[in-house]
Amino acid sequence: MNESAAAAARRIGSACDGRVPRVALLLGSGWSPLAAALVPRVELDYAELPGFPALAVGGHVGRVRVGTLHGAEVLLLSGRKHAYEDGDPRAMKGAVQALAAAGVTTLLQTNAAGSLDPAMPAGRLMLLSDHLNLVQASPLVGERDDRRFVDMAAAYDPALAALARQAARQAGVTLHEGVYAWVLGPQFETPAEIRMLQRLGAQAVGMSTVPETILARHAGLRVLALSMITNMGCGLAAESLSHAHTLAGAARAADDAARLMAALLPMLESAA
């Protein structure tokens, strides 16, 4: 861990009076209504925290908020920096390392994704069982010790995944499950690329999450990840894809996302 991450961890710890939640929630595109539901006791802009990125994508505001969400104490990160912004998969490295140093033990990631499965239309939620790093880029390049050789056999914690399934049943929410394919973007995929991803065994595709999962596992954090399905992959439906379309599609899953989180977050807090 570098000094900027350590400094950010101290800043977070001080702002929280030493009471840093064990669960961190990273909000991706479409998940911002959860931030409005949080009752905060601490708010810090990314700009106040050494090593945290500057954000430039709509819906990603760049703020750390600590408080109560659906009855659980969480550290909420509103937004991530994507590798497509400057080609660097290490964009969230300082933030993830700071979380671990501050005392977080579990990272719940969220994202918006395109569906590759006709049985999983827009408006549904998907639990990540695994991922495909199609970019074949790593945020651990440059690390100097053997911890960089991270075992990714259980990148998405099986015990936490079981809690997510239990929470979905309790909330009455349909929760799909599948493999998430990470592509660099920012352009959307072609129909041929969508067919390729289907043949590789992916159920959803997006432009985030995988670098942060690698960073989190390197830092010793347990990871759970959820995709909000906002559209069908190119060529699978008659729709024109754009970032605005992604955000609009997210509204169709907002109610299910809120109900799932209301059941899931207390479970994660108890397990952390």
208 close to 231: Cβ distance less than 8 angstroms: no
- Give the C-alpha distances (Å, rounded to integers) separating 139 from 42, 125, 217: 29, 27, 11
Catalytic residues: 29, 60, 82, 84-85, 112, 207-208, 231, 243
Q: CA 15 to CA 66: how far, in whole Å?
A: 9
